[in-house]
Amino acid sequence: MATRVLITVDTELTWRHHVAGADWRDNYARSVEPGGVGLSYQLEKLREFGLKACFFIDPMPAAIFGLDPVKRMVETVLEGGQGVQLHCHPMWLDAAKHDSDPEKMRFELTEFGYDEQREIIAQAREWLIEAGAPMPVAFRSGSYAANTDTLRALRDLGFTYDTSHNGCEAPWPSAIDLPEHQITPAEEKGIVEIPVTQLRVPGGGLRHTQICAISRSEMRSGIDHAIKERLPVFTIVGHSFELATRDGQRPNRLIKARFDRLCAMLARRADKAQTTHFADLDRVPLDIPAHPVPISFFTVANRMAEQLTANMLEKVAL
């Protein structure tokens, strides 16, 4: 069986632009469609290379702005032929109640108990469906903040998959009771947990396969390792704002190039590493023994030099 690749894109209005005073339209322009390399650009590149991806949309800003921004995200993704699943940053609910008073805010889902988590996730799903999305089967918590109560709540609400376990963010905020190095699917509390894939860096630490966090060489090593070891799933993380500069005004040329090359790389490996939607996953093999691929010091040093150069160029461009 070919390795299945999950390209997952967390798609959201960002908190930093909200607290800076942006209305939802400005926030949308900077967070969802920033610098000409946001959601629409990513969808077009996926279409160009014949790839499938899952966009984890956060509907929680509806607590403040209503459903219009969520509807726009959902419509754009579905028109682009890609999958929509549920993402959730719960602080928007507290912001609606407490006018963004930082002393009263709870930012992570794991700051809530089981009953509150179940209520929050149920509300998020209701808003996502009201915005036009199909019934979601998969969930990712904002900041990867999930624990046993999260999985129990998802199970009781009828979800099939969670993909919040991120070993390099464990034990906090990613607090699911799995080994940090877990990179293959496992059943936990009645939910199939599909971890974010990790790489092993010099010194023994982990680095997750997020487009802005690893180089093209590191991503290629991870994908080829998954193919060689016949791993059932390889999970990549991106964000709607990730290919742009932090202010959301211009493309980040380095990260944009990584995304473009990733799409081309996956298209070349389509016979051995097929991109898929969560809705198309079935009979995922569980508890397959596997370890993150080790990355050389030289490769890590090249990535750091690359990112330093890119950061310097971005400052010159300001």
Q: Domain residues of the chain, as ranges?
A: 3-317
- Main-chain dihedrals φ then ψ at residue 234, nearest 5 degrees: -125, 120
- Main-chain dihedrals φ then ψ at residue 85, nearest 5 degrees: -130, 180
Per-residue confidence (pLDDT) for residue 30, from 0 to 100: 97
Per-residue confidence (pLDDT) for residue 315, from 0 to 100: 56
Per-residue confidence (pLDDT) for residue 317, from 0 to 100: 46
CA distance 151 to 22: 34
Mark out the alpha helices in 5-139 (DSSP H runs): 15-19, 24-31, 39-49, 62-65, 68-79, 91-98, 114-130
CA distance 92 to 99: 10
Burial class (CB in 10 A: 0-12, 13-18, 19+), 193: buried
For residue 244, list its beta bridge partners.
251
Neighbours of 221 (CB within 10 A): 18
pLDDT tens by residue, the chain, 318 residues: 689 999 999 999 999 999 999 999 999 999 999 999 999 999 999 999 999 999 999 999 999 999 999 999 999 999 999 999 999 999 999 888 876 667 778 999 999 999 999 999 999 999 999 999 999 999 999 999 999 999 999 999 999 999 999 999 999 999 999 999 999 999 999 999 999 999 999 999 999 999 999 999 999 999 999 999 999 999 999 999 999 999 999 999 999 999 999 999 999 999 999 999 999 998 899 989 999 999 988 888 888 887 787 676 565 444
Per-residue confidence (pLDDT) for residue 185, from 0 to 100: 97
**Strand pairing of 198-200 and 206-208?**
antiparallel
Per-residue confidence (pLDDT) for residue 100, from 0 to 100: 61
Q: Which helix (H) or strand (E) holds 293?
A: strand 293-294
Tokens (6 digits) for 48: 């160009």
- The top-level CATH class assigned to 3-317 is alpha beta
Distances (CA, A) of 318 to 183, 233, 234, 250, 312: 39, 40, 37, 10, 10
Are residues 253 and 35 in contact, defined by beta-carbon separation less than 8 angstroms? Answer: no
In the chain the first and final C-alpha atoms are separated, in Å, by 48
Q: Can you give the pTM of this predicted structure?
A: 0.96
Nearest by Cα to 297 from 185, 199, 208, 225: 199
